[in-house]
Amino acid sequence: MNKIGRLLEHWIEHCKEHNEKYLEWAERIKEENPDVAELIFEAVRRFEEGVKLLEKAREKL
């Protein structure tokens, strides 16, 4: 695998790890701060779209 392939693998895994933490925290605060939690949930949805794009880029290598 070339350098960009290794970078894409790293970025994909890194994003997924962050998303897990974001979801964890959104769940923790959703009762106290539902507006903030919903924004975090929306951010995760968008980050997941980014992960899909990175995965497509990796597939093209």
- Domain extents for the chain? 3-59
Residue 1 is predicted with a pLDDT of 75
Q: Quick one: 45 exposed, middle or buried, by C-beta within 10 A (0-12, 13-18, 19+)?
A: exposed
Helices and strands (H and E) in the chain: how many? 2, 0
Residues 3-57 pLDDT 10s: 999 999 999 999 999 999 999 999 999 999 999 999 999 999 999 999 999 999 9
Enter the pTM of the model.
0.86
How far apart, in Å, are the Cα atoms of 38 and each of 2, 24, 28, 46, 51? 38, 12, 12, 12, 20
